[in-house]
Structure 1
Amino acid sequence: MKLLRYAGVAFLLTAGIGQATFAQQKFEWKEASSGGYTYKYVTNDPTQSRFYTLKNGLTVILSPSKKEPRIQSFIAVKAGSKTDPATNTGLAHYLEHMLFKGTDQFGSLDWAKEKPVLDQIDALYEQYNKTTDEAKRKEIYKQIDKTSGEAAKYAIANEYDKMVASIGAKGSNAFTSFEQTVYTEDVPSNTLDKYLAIQAERFRNPILRLFHTELEAVYEEKNRGLDNDGRKVNEAMFATIFPNNNYGKQTTLGTVEHLRNPSLVEIRKYYSTYYVPNNMGIIMSGDFNPDQVVSQIDKDFGYMQSKPVPAYTFKPEEPIKAPINVNVTGPEPERVMLGFRFPGAATKDAQMLELVGNILTNGSAGLIDLNLVKKQKLLQAFAFPYILKDYSVLILQGNPVEGQSLDDVKALMLAELDKLKKGDFSDDLIQAIVNNEKKKIIERNESYSDRADELMNNFTSDVDWQSRVAYVNDLSKITKQDIMTFANKYLANNYVAVYKRQGEDKNIVKVDKPEITAVEVNREAQSAFLKKVNAMPENKINPVWLDYKKDIQKAKAGTYEVLAVQNKDNDLFRVYYQYETGSWASKLLPIATQYLEFLGTKDKSSEAISKDFYQIASSFNINAGGENTTVSIDGLQEHMGKAVSMFDNLLRNCQPDTEALEAFKTRLKKARANKKLNKGQIMRGLSSYAQYGSSNPFNNELSDAELNALTAEDLVNVLHNLAGYPHRVLYYGPQTATAFASSLAGIHTTPAGGIKAPPVTKKFIQQTQGSNKVLFTHYDMVQAEINWLRTSDPYQAGEIPTVTLFNEYFGGGMGSIVFQTIRESKALAYTTYAYFNPPARKEYRNVAMAYVGTQSDKFNDAVAAMNELLNNLPESDKALQTAKTSVQKTLATERITQDGILFSYLTAERMGRDYDIRKNTYEAVPKFTFADLKNFHQKELSAKPYTYCIVANQDKLKEEEMKKLGDFKKLTLEEIFGY
């Protein structure tokens, strides 16, 4: 599911954030012509978005941005799971998957020979769909599998992925939600013509080839969903709150029954109905000339013909007159979700709902932030609006602390809604929200992809862009009374409560593994269309490398070294304190930095400090990593001095608060217990154990006894000491380094006690795998997840070009060898990849790793398939050339800007470099041969011992099967987590 959040559009502000900034601006639809095309635009829209409607009804939305030589493109269809046929739910989603399989012009070795075989498969699926006798169904499926194998001989798997990789595309993907199916790419601006040619062909006549292996990938995705308690909670909420609308009646992934009985005829019917130009939009933001782009789109997509699209109709939902309670069970931690129904995206009420969401939760000064999170009454709590076309939902979610019932959690959240209805919130909160929204808008305008994303969401939800451009201006006019009236109208005992309880879900029906014979992938084959695209001319874009000596300004602010990059675009600043100490030196540090959120000073409470930061649209954060700690402070330059001064005062003068500590300990114990219920955290722990042994960075935690013994003074001393440790100050903002250092000198001063050396950092030694080992932990889940891990040689900068190309070729994306083999050919996993990872610091060693998430009954096949690839590297000259081209074009169009320059420098410094290593990769990649990659593979991966980290259900995956892989050890949660 994709959430549509009314985040506001990307206003470029260079002044302050006062209310008057927008007061005299008008936001109106106007019409203009340029380059032979007429378009609409909204006045005072700093995104400069143009809205075209071509003759065939295709919507084209273009928002130019020259910051990077790249373009974010979305091709959006106003159809999703909401418009699935009731008899074929999940159809929109697996049609999305099939749009990557090619047409009669690409993806096929010989279309004339392939078509009759595909027609046979169509007919077999229709038989399969209508047959209920299980024995007959198995026989039909054997025929499907056999015939699919014949058809695959004519197919070129992943040719689409190869084409977009060869033009330097990033983020090639798609997603399906309730009312949108969206195909996304980030492409270099100089290959836009090639991209449009590919897309125009892609949507012309999609062929449903390699269907049964791709459907198996959808099965895997469904099974992953069955293992995801969060997805189950969302589905339960929508099913209950929308009994009439397909938001609740159907899910995006569809029912197990419908996935078992697909119909290719229905898929084509759906495509023909909804994939028409008057129901589609091409949305782009990036480095382009709109006149040229709209002309090219018109030329390439002009073949499409419009036709009426059936309107989605539904019986309006009946009012909810009393609370409705629903229970969901699963292994993850308990929580409760509340949902209130609201009008849809295009209404004024939906915009008001966004404001209400901010009043409840804004991360600093919302009612839930201050009263439930700051006061530590709940482990976690938040509210957010889920905006959809037909209806919206206000979601509240809370997680209990130890000893708290889910009804207690619900009561606390409902009490905050009562305060909202009574107007029991600060009078200046609305203006503070306006200020923060304006800041967020500036931040979003810095990203061409964020801009395109919002334009796309508004298109698929039929939201008037004018209302979004005017959003902050309109927000400024809303009064507290307006909010109270709105809250009292919609928020009563008219909610759905979904109780997520811990336990075994006995209602799960797994999608069973069918018998699938591996199919051909024809790696070396190329269609005539691909060759035609490759032959299209393109202008060269020269890469831009960082020169740290020129790109970073340096200065001194008292005793502190300042590294700075000047912001010449707007008035945003970001300041960082970079400490070379972390949790490896002090287990208390990460706990103390979390505790700081609940502390005040002698003069101000914690709540008052949060309000002060939010009022000036500034924020701070502390991230204590293993070997370094980063403080970040951000906001508008006019408030930089105040924000830095406020943070420094808090860090240096925070006061012990025993009551806050006891509440914090209770919450921390619950959070620690909850981590043990999270399969992702368990896998992280297993992988850390595999790499470092029984004492490792992941379980470098306080014991329960040490946690109980902690005092408020202990943690405050850690914070006060941190203020006195040596650190560098990083700055991205409008000032030069010298000017910033001068303004900082009187604010960020050396503590009275002087600079102190931090505690000695503990070193964790990476283990050498001498033989195959298996680390296993039980988790109640449908799937099995396997991580391969091997510690390799120490880091060498000279290997980076080889590593970069190898990862791209071997396991780095949908066109890689690993993905093609394990998912496309053998249908053994939804997610699979493999990488050779350089370390975070030069003194550490590289790590080879691989991953497969698969059904437990596919475990042996999936492990064997990955092991075969780890031991024997398949050769493909075409795939190698695609990988080389992709790496070069990506590097040529990549621009490291803003504070990214500062962090690139810190990374280089930790790796012992004073130069931008991307230049070395760019120059070396064209010279590589397959022999170079094979030598690297044999040296680092082939015939090497690995540690298999496995998380699975012990009742579904037998121990004797895992023992065949190596020395077996079943780890307890205490061994993994350290407490």
Structure 2
Amino acid sequence: EVRSLMLGEIEKLKKGQFSDDLLPSAVNNMKLKYYQSLRKNDERADRFVDAFINDKKWDDVVHSLDRISKMTKNQIVDFANRFFTDGYVTVFKAQGNDTTIHKIEKPHITPIPTNNDKQSEFLKNVVNAQPEPIQPKFVDFKRDLTVGRTKKGLEYLYKKNTSDDIFSLTYHYPFGTESDNQYAVAADYLSYVGTDKLSNEKIQQQFFKLACSYNVSVDDDAINISLSGLNSNMPAAVRLLESVLTSAKADKESYDKYVGIVLKARADAKSEQRANFSALTLLGACGTYNPRLNVMSERQLRSADPQALLDKLKSLNRYRATVMYFGPSDMKTVDGIVSAAHSTPRKFLADPESKPYLHQTTNKTEVWVAPYDAKNIYMTMYHDEGKKWTPGKAAIELLFNEYFGGGMNAIVFQELREARGLAYSAGAKYTAPSAHPYNDTECFTTYIITQNDKMMDCVNEFNNLLNDTPSREAGFKLAQQSLMKSLATARTNYENVFWRWLDAKKKGIDYDIRQKIYQTLPKLTLNDVINFARENIANKPYRYLILGDEKDIDMNALQKLGPVRRLSTEDIFGY
């Protein structure tokens, strides 16, 4: 059916059965993508590389959009008929058991000494080079953005775009699924419906014609309604977005299709290994009240009133949003456009109450096992003793992560993968709460993917590393230098300044926390990192979260670690 639909659209293209204004609309969208690509250094560099490798004249590359804008409908139709012939291949993916696999006995693996303290001549030359140091640039909230109030009393964040004709406009609400899980369903369903005046297809065509797009994202603690595209079309795009939000019209056919897609996606997730592991780790960390389980059930979806769901989005303008604009226009102009299109009440409602997703403390060592038929296991060791985060901890936590579990040079990767060949992938991280910095607690997690028969080897080696973290000065220096260079070269540009400001506000600080980290890192020593490990991860109770096939797992060995809790796939997904 999908193949037939795709071939049918190609036939329309070959017959010229498309609107005459589709071509200039496509050019506008190509222009938008071109501007967006120039914001990324890697894509700018790729243009040079592509031109060099393919022997393209740079003048042709620079003016390619000018030539494209002159193409005609007849040229597009001729191209389609010349190249879209019957010479295609359809590829199908089959699911099932591979009966051709032969099991290989586990060989004895002899640990090899790591050489991360040694340096080749090439590395020495690179390390000893003396380039001009890149100076860090952190966000100055008093200089890099403007905070104020619109004519209707909404808080706004403004930053002028002096580089191109792209804008982004966001309505930010500080509540999400922790307040009401129906918001997520409403936001998803919105893209399937039209309004009382425009069909869904017409809405998509209008946005495409304007070279603009919108998105309604619902997070745990926030709803963001975002609009972006060519700034010259912003007034029309804002009016179109507001009409979609306030006049969205549900119908049974589109809602039934939407529910079918949601239920199929949920069923598909249960067959995907990483989705199972994500569900298991969320359950192990947060318990039964977590983002994965706090969703509308199948019964609730089928019995819900779809129009009532859409009306939840319509009623958002009764709450006080933060308006964030990055673009070429001045804020007075933006205020006029937004205030004219975005209706607000005389008195705003208080934000709805929320029930935050919080991490659970681990008071004892225990093992949770969830089933998945595979030749490897996914395993996390989770620990939380209820410690609260403060801004002063940020630097040492970041340095510890880089040294111990953050990358290919970290202790975990070096010992478990490089030295012993025990893992496909391995890491560890001490995590500060992000959504609720002062209500939630810090936690520590390990992560490993390994063969089923190597599970206990990984458990034992991980515990050795946790309880007696190796002290390696060379690795520490490399981790420290890596972080310093990463912070020095990182740039918070464009609308990302707003998210940095919102994060600081959530943390109760009025500065870019990365600047404090950068100033603190040089003062930290290897002893600080080792002491941090002793205080926070060594000899602690852990909750082992293991996804794998129980018949290939040494359950007797796991029972020696602590009580074993067997979970079903339904337990971790909630359906």
- TM-score by structure 2 length? 0.93
CA distance in 2: counterparts of 1:846 and 1:450, whole angstroms: 37
Give the one of 771, 777, 801 matched to 2:370. 777
Matches within 5 A, 1:416-431: 416-431=9-24
Identical aligned residues as a percent: 33
Give the one of 902, 911, 927 matched to 2:507. 911
Give the one of 405, 416, 419 matched to 1:825. 419
CA gap of 1:901–1:525, structure 2 versus 1, over 3 A, is same
Contact 1:702-1:978 at 8 Å conserved across structures: no
Give the one of 413, 432, 449 matched to 1:838. 432
Give the one of 321, 324, 329 matched to 1:735. 329
Matches within 5 A, 1:928-947: 928-947=524-543
Report how far residue 802 of structure 1 moved. 0.3
**Structure 2: runs of 5+ lacking an equivalent:** none
Give the one of 61, 85, 91 matched to 1:498. 91
Contact 1:651-1:723 at 8 Å conserved across structures: no
Report how far residue 551 of structure 1 moved. 1.7
2:490 is aligned to 894
Amino acid at match of 2:555: E
Amino acid at match of 2:366: K
Amino acid at match of 1:541: I
Q: Which moved more, 1:635-644 or 1:945-954?
A: 945-954
Amino acid at match of 1:850: T
1:850 is aligned to 446
1:536 is aligned to 129
**Structure 1: runs of 5+ lacking an equivalent:** 1-407
CA distance in 1: counterparts of 2:126 and 2:6, whole angstroms: 57
Contact 1:658-1:711 at 8 Å conserved across structures: no
Contact 1:877-1:930 at 8 Å conserved across structures: yes
2:315 is aligned to 721
Are residues 1:865 and 2:458 paired?
no
CA distance in 1: counterparts of 2:86 and 2:128, whole angstroms: 64
Post-superposition CA distance 1:137-187 (Å, at most 9, x none)? xxxxxxxxxxxxxxxxxxxxxxxxxxxxxxxxxxxxxxxxxxxxxxxxxxx
Aligned length: 571
CA gap of 1:538–1:672, structure 2 versus 1, over 3 A, is same
Are residues 1:708 and 2:302 paired?
yes
Contact 1:504-1:780 at 8 Å conserved across structures: no
Post-superposition CA distance 1:635-654 (Å, at most 9, x none)? 12211121111111110111
Give the one of 264, 275, 289 matched to 1:670. 264
2:194 is aligned to 600
CA distance in 2: counterparts of 1:661 and 1:698, whole angstroms: 22
Amino acid at match of 1:635: G
CA distance in 1: counterparts of 2:122 and 2:62, whole angstroms: 42
Report how far residue 540 of structure 1 moved. 3.4
1:548 is aligned to 141
CA gap of 1:637–1:891, structure 2 versus 1, over 3 A, is same
Report how far residue 760 of structure 1 moved. 2.0
CA gap of 1:777–1:424, structure 2 versus 1, over 3 A, is farther
- TM-score by structure 1 length? 0.56
Structure 1 counterpart SS, 2:572: helix
2:36 is aligned to 443
CA distance in 2: counterparts of 1:662 and 1:470, whole angstroms: 47
1:589 is aligned to 183
Give the one of 606, 609, 613 matched to 2:203. 609
Matches within 5 A, 1:944-955: 944-955=540-551
CA distance in 1: counterparts of 2:165 and 2:103, whole angstroms: 53
Report how far residue 883 of structure 1 moved. 1.5
Give the one of 745, 750, 757 matched to 2:339. 745
Contact 1:652-1:723 at 8 Å conserved across structures: no
CA distance in 2: counterparts of 1:788 and 1:774, whole angstroms: 9
Contact 2:371-2:569 at 8 Å conserved across structures: no
Report how far residue 906 of structure 1 moved. 0.6
CA distance in 2: counterparts of 1:541 and 1:718, whole angstroms: 48
Contact 2:317-2:342 at 8 Å conserved across structures: no
1:411 is aligned to 4
Report how far residue 956 of structure 1 moved. 3.0
CA distance in 1: counterparts of 2:382 and 2:55, whole angstroms: 48
CA distance in 1: counterparts of 2:245 and 2:283, whole angstroms: 34
2:218 is aligned to 624
Post-superposition CA distance 1:504-563 (Å, at most 9, x none)? 233445787543311111444445665554443333333222221222202222121111
Give the one of 814, 833, 846 matched to 2:408. 814
CA distance in 1: counterparts of 2:358 and 2:235, whole angstroms: 42
CA gap of 1:433–1:782, structure 2 versus 1, over 3 A, is farther
Amino acid at match of 1:728: T
Are residues 1:640 and 2:230 paired?
no
CA distance in 2: counterparts of 1:547 and 1:712, whole angstroms: 44
2:350 is aligned to 757
CA distance in 2: counterparts of 1:531 and 1:502, whole angstroms: 50
Structure 1 counterpart SS, 2:443: strand
Which of the two has greater strand per residue? Answer: 1
Give the one of 550, 561, 573 matched to 1:965. 561
Are residues 1:975 and 2:575 paired?
no
CA distance in 2: counterparts of 1:950 and 1:772, whole angstroms: 14
Structure 2 counterpart SS, 1:518: coil
Report how far residue 412 of structure 1 moved. 2.9
CA gap of 1:544–1:828, structure 2 versus 1, over 3 A, is same
CA gap of 1:556–1:972, structure 2 versus 1, over 3 A, is same
2:45 is aligned to 452
Structure 2 counterpart SS, 1:780: coil
Structure 2 counterpart SS, 1:794: coil
Contact 1:523-1:879 at 8 Å conserved across structures: yes
Report how far residue 894 of structure 1 moved. 2.0
Are residues 1:518 and 2:111 paired?
yes
Amino acid at match of 1:922: Y
Contact 1:578-1:631 at 8 Å conserved across structures: yes
Contact 1:819-1:833 at 8 Å conserved across structures: yes
CA distance in 2: counterparts of 1:745 and 1:692, whole angstroms: 41
CA distance in 2: counterparts of 1:456 and 1:566, whole angstroms: 31
1:693 is aligned to 287
Are residues 1:922 and 2:515 paired?
no
Q: Which moved more, 1:682-691 or 1:656-665?
A: 656-665
CA-based RMSD of the aligned residues comes to: 2.3
CA distance in 1: counterparts of 2:141 and 2:105, whole angstroms: 55
CA gap of 1:424–1:961, structure 2 versus 1, over 3 A, is farther
Contact 2:431-2:442 at 8 Å conserved across structures: yes
CA distance in 2: counterparts of 1:612 and 1:536, whole angstroms: 54
CA distance in 1: counterparts of 2:60 and 2:105, whole angstroms: 48
Amino acid at match of 2:137: V
CA distance in 2: counterparts of 1:820 and 1:867, whole angstroms: 15
CA gap of 1:615–1:513, structure 2 versus 1, over 3 A, is farther
Report how far residue 682 of structure 1 moved. 1.1
CA distance in 2: counterparts of 1:533 and 1:598, whole angstroms: 54
1:802 is aligned to 396
Q: After TM superposition, where is structure 1 displaced by more than 4 Å over at least 4 residues in a row?
A: 457-468, 508-514, 526-533
Report how far residue 709 of structure 1 moved. 0.5
Contact 2:212-2:227 at 8 Å conserved across structures: yes
CA distance in 2: counterparts of 1:508 and 1:639, whole angstroms: 57
Contact 2:358-2:441 at 8 Å conserved across structures: no
CA distance in 1: counterparts of 2:344 and 2:105, whole angstroms: 65
Contact 1:554-1:737 at 8 Å conserved across structures: no
CA distance in 1: counterparts of 2:124 and 2:85, whole angstroms: 63
Report how far residue 602 of structure 1 moved. 1.5
CA distance in 2: counterparts of 1:756 and 1:711, whole angstroms: 23
Amino acid at match of 1:420: L
1:62 is aligned to none
CA distance in 1: counterparts of 2:254 and 2:340, whole angstroms: 32
Report how far residue 801 of structure 1 moved. 0.7
Contact 1:565-1:899 at 8 Å conserved across structures: yes
Structure 2 counterpart SS, 1:542: coil
